[in-house]
């Protein structure tokens, strides 16, 4: 078929297009606007106008249209600075569509950049979440980043997005304060979660836009600042760690001063008690026995205070003052347990001590410091039980057993469960969940350092029924 004569005389751009959009013929006017036979017309159109064109072509081909032709406007060809209005005919014998351009004009560069079709392309390549929302929260436009954030892979249209939002199946950042009395630009940081449940921080910028016609809208730009916030948190954590380190250093100095001040009167007390013992009258045996018991009790308490002072000084330093000695872990546990017997009875706490399952539980350690670890955990267990709101039985269980080349001290209590959100902070210095006056937040932090000083580990498990601490100590820590 020869259309050359017809095409060359026409002053309008003329095209012959098949049902899939391939340009089979184009005249010289069309060629001037880059509409040539090596192009596909459909690929040059924006999505919304392409869908409309396909429906109209199908109606024209099937005879659904009452007219033999119809007009359509193409607002933009993304590859060309042009807008056009076309009259389309269906050539039944050739099974082709004839496009006759009634108007084809060039955009100015400014108009083209402001055009909706191109702006969508620009917005879709922006990693930030960009949306235009009306005052009642209905989304009028959303860029590709929003659909990606929402996890919508198919059916990417504004109706699907609004439906998910209305059904509360989806939540998007920046939509919390849509209605605002003032018309000023608002910027704020928001902590939320993505559809997978991961924590995410967004900087939301909401800009009211007054439209020359129709209702006013709100431009919302949400920038993901999660990495920045995490870096900020790490910096704060480092600052707090440095602050806690300084506090511990100060406590160490203070402990040394206290130890020095207490040691002098202790020496005098011990010396006087020994003098009393030597000067007892030999003829008053019954009275002497009572006095000797009292003096021995004084000496025992002096010795205990002395050990506590040495322990305070050693805990304030990285190196231990006392030398490591070979000690039985069961004896250390038994000693600590005996000091808490009255406390267990006072709070009606049932105890179960299983420490005789190992034939030889001797290890090289700092006995006083190891006693402090066990004491701290037992005291925390008691507090957890008495502060718990549960009505379950009050029980503390301590087991000592051997696993591979380690000795395990397992301490369990039926107190309150440790919340998931604070598990990572349990061993931080000065962190405590107890009411004011019930704790300093140093017990577990010091315990962790002591255990690590013994080349061991300390960890825990906690659920609604039981909280269990595991102290793992190597049998040969040399």
**How far is residue 429 from each of residues 244, 362, 371, 378, 444, measured CA to CA in Å?**
7, 30, 19, 18, 8
Give residue-wise pLDDT tens across range 92-136: 888 899 998 877 665 554 455 455 566 777 888 889 999 888 877
**C-beta of residue 135 within 8 angstroms of C-beta of residue 178:** yes
**C-beta of residue 83 within 8 angstroms of C-beta of residue 102:** no
Give residue-wise pLDDT tens across range 437-451: 555 567 788 888 889
- Element at 29 (helix H, strand E): helix 28-32
d(CA 414, CA 233): 34
State the DSSP code for 416: P
d(CA 55, CA 70): 12
d(CA 374, CA 369): 9
> Position of tokens 């596909």?
40
d(CA 15, CA 31): 10
Give residue-wise pLDDT tens across range 344-385: 988 889 999 998 878 788 898 888 788 889 998 999 899 889
Burial class of residue 192 in the structure, from the number of CB atoms within 10 Å of its CB (0-12 exposed, 13-18 middle, 19+ buried):
middle
Q: Per DSSP, what are the bridge partners of residue 133?
A: 139, 218
d(CA 190, CA 354): 51
Percent of the chain residues topping a pLDDT of 90:
14
> Position of tokens 């546990």?
333
> Position of tokens 């009050």?
394
- Confidence tier at 81 by pLDDT (50, 70, 90): very low
Q: Per DSSP, what are the bridge partners of residue 410?
A: 399, 470
d(CA 144, CA 245): 48
Give residue-wise pLDDT tens across range 210-251: 765 556 788 899 998 888 888 887 777 777 666 766 666 666
d(CA 85, CA 114): 20
**Does the pLDDT value for residue 79 go beyond 50?**
no
Count the alpha carbons within 13 Å of 253 in the hemisphere toward its beta carbon: 5
Candidates 147, 145, 146, 143; CA nearest to 156 is: 147
Q: Average pLDDT for residues 186-206, to the nearest whole number?
A: 81
- Element at 397 (helix H, strand E): strand 395-403
């Amino acid at each position: 078929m020869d259309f050359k004569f017809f095409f060359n005389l026409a002053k309008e751009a003329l095209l012959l297009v098949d049902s899939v959009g391939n340009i089979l013929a184009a005249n010289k006017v069309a060629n001037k606007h880059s509409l040539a036979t090596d192009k596909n017309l459909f690929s040059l159109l924006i999505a919304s106008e392409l869908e409309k064109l396909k429906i109209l072509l199908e109606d024209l081909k099937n005879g659904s249209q009452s007219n033999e032709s119809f007009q359509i406007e193409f607002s933009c060809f993304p590859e060309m600075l042009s807008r056009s209005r076309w009259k389309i005919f269906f050539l039944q014998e050739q099974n082709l569509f004839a496009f006759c351009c009634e108007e084809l004009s060039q955009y100015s560069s400014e108009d083209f950049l402001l055009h909706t079709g191109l702006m969508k392309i620009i917005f879709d390549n922006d990693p930030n979440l960009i949306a235009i929302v009306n005052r009642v929260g209905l989304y009028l436009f959303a860029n590709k980043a929003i659909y990606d954030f929402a996890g919508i892979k198919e059916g990417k249209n504004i109706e699907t997005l609004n439906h998910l939002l209305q059904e509360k199946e989806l939540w998007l950042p920046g939509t919390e304060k849509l209605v605002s009395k003032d018309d000023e630009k608002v910027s704020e940081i928001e902590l939320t979660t993505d559809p997978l449940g991961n924590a995410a921080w967004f900087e939301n910028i909401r800009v009211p836009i007054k439209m020359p016609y129709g209702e006013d809208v709100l431009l919302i730009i949400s920038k993901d600042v999660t990495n920045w916030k995490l870096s900020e948190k790490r910096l704060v954590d480092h600052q707090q760690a440095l602050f806690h380190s300084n506090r511990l250093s100060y406590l160490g100095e203070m402990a040394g001063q206290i130890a020095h001040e207490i040691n002098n009167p202790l020496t005098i007390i011990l010396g006087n008690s020994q003098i009393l013992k030597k000067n007892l009258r030999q003829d008053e045996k019954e009275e002497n026995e009572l006095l000797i018991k009292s003096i021995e009790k004084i000496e025992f308490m002096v010795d205990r205070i002395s050990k506590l002072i040495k322990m305070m000084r050693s805990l304030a330093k990285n190196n231990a003052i006392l030398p490591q000695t070979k000690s039985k872990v069961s004896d250390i546990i038994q000693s600590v347990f005996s000091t808490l017997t009255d406390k267990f009875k006072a709070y009606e706490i049932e105890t179960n001590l299983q420490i005789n399952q190992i034939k030889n539980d001797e290890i090289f350690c700092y006995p006083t410091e190891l006693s402090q670890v066990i004491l701290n955990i037992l005291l925390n267990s008691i507090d957890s039980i008495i502060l718990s709101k549960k009505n379950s039985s009050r029980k503390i269980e301590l087991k000592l057993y051997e696993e591979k080349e380690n000795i395990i001290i397992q301490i369990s209590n039926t107190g309150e469960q440790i919340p998931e959100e604070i598990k990572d902070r349990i061993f931080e210095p000065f962190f405590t969940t107890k009411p004011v006056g019930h704790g300093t937040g140093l017990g577990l932090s010091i315990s962790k350092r002591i255990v690590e000083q013994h080349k061991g580990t300390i960890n825990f498990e906690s659920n609604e029924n039981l909280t269990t601490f595991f102290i793992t100590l190597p049998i040969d820590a040399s």
